Amino acid sequence: MVNTPLRTSPPPFCTILPPHLLDRLLEADDPVVAAHARRTLEHDAVHRTRRRVTTVCGPTAVSSVAVADTAQCTIYDAAHQKRAPGTEVNLASSGAAGDATALRAHTGLNATLDLYLKVYGRRSIDNDGLPLNATVRYGEKYDNAFWDGEQMVFGDGDGNLFLDFTIPLDIVGHELTHGVTQYTANLTYYGQPGALNESLSDVFGSLIKQYALDQTAGQADWLIGAGLFTPAVNGKGLRSLAAPGTAYDDAQLGKDPQPATMRDYVQTSRDNGGVHINSGIPNHAFYQLAIALGGNAWARAGTIWYTTLTSSELAPDAGFTDFARLTATTARNLYGDGEEAQAVLDSWQKVGIDLPPA
């Protein structure tokens, strides 16, 4: 028997679509688009309130379970109701072969487990073999996907702007990485610590896709959510690590607001202090590092980020500079004072965070 670690505090309600994007859709001329956005925002607000209530009441112990290196993955079908988990999907049955949504969700869970286990030696998101559950077809035309602290949930999308949220593999990896952060640094979900929380999910979501596709840093698209938009949207994805602020520029969605450097850091009280916006800065620092080191980004660059995330030195209230300093220390500890350590310093300097040389 292995004891699963207690959460130090309940996790935030983490969604892939940021509130500012849905807020924009509330102003759409098309009443159907506005109605879908309103329903999604109302749903998400209820879940965020539940997370705050749980925070006041205190964390819940997680039962001890027997574990193995390969965690169990189970897919459930909510049948367009707002319920989770729903009815279990038997993927071994002949009928399940035609359930593309359930199969994509299952593939995404396993791809996430593969990267964390085979590259970083992590056994599921809690490092104790936690079984992973996911619910598909949640709600009616629900425009989001989220990690609720215990499982993944996917909406089908409205079909007008957003397709099925199981389509982009990196969305699955992004949301499950919120679980990894929950069980490690437990970064506060506000301001710079919250933006780091979102950035880490983007970074490892992208690495999970790159690992599954066997891509080098130079081959990867560095987009989060590619394939999620319908042809009606002028956009490549939800976010770009290579060029924050360029993922979409659309009449209904507006323009991607992410900054790439500290010069354009956004001061706001919305979106938990801009967690989905300012995450573009550490995102871009990682991209710069991965390109500078070359090869597979999950190797040296990813190892530096993963080791920093799981280090006891990363405090829940860490800001960008705190994280940057720790990545520089991690690079020196892992690789000495050579190429990797200098590349980390250079990457942060390119986004406006200057660190003293080793």
Q: What is the pLDDT of residues 197-235, one digit of tens each?
A: 999 999 999 999 999 999 999 999 999 999 999 999 999
Predicted pLDDT of residue 4: 36
284 a catalytic residue: no
Per residue in 279-315, pLDDT tens?
999 999 999 999 999 999 999 999 999 999 999 999 9
309-to-165, 196, 303, 312, 324 alpha-carbon distances in Å: 26, 10, 10, 8, 11
Yes or no: say if 22 and 48 are a contact pair by the CB < 8 Å rule: no
| Domain 14-350 architecture | Orthogonal Bundle (1.10)
Helix 320-335 to helix 300-309 angle, to the nearest 10 degrees? Answer: 120
Predicted pLDDT of residue 8: 44
Q: What is the pLDDT along the chain (358 residues), one digit of tens a residue?
A: 333 344 444 556 677 787 777 777 877 667 777 776 677 766 665 554 443 333 333 333 333 334 445 679 999 999 999 888 999 999 988 677 789 999 999 999 999 999 999 999 999 999 999 999 999 999 999 999 998 888 999 999 999 999 999 999 999 999 999 999 999 999 999 999 999 999 999 999 999 999 999 999 999 999 999 999 999 999 999 999 999 999 999 999 999 999 999 999 999 999 999 999 999 999 999 999 999 999 999 999 999 999 999 999 999 999 999 999 999 999 999 999 999 999 999 999 999 999 987 6
pTM for this one? 0.88
Predicted pLDDT of residue 63: 37
276 a catalytic residue: yes
Yes or no: say if 167 and 244 are a contact pair by the CB < 8 Å rule: no
Of the candidates 174, 276, 284, 340, the residue annotated as catalytic is 276
Nearest to 297 by CA among 174, 205, 194: 205
Question: Per-domain residue ranges for the chain?
Answer: 14-350
Per residue in 230-252, pLDDT tens?
999 999 999 999 999 999 999 99
Predicted pLDDT of residue 124: 95
Predicted pLDDT of residue 311: 93
Of the candidates 174, 175, 198, 340, the residue annotated as catalytic is 175
Yes or no: say if 102 and 77 are a contact pair by the CB < 8 Å rule: yes
**59: preceding bond cis by omega (within 30 degrees):** no
Predicted pLDDT of residue 38: 72
Predicted pLDDT of residue 358: 60
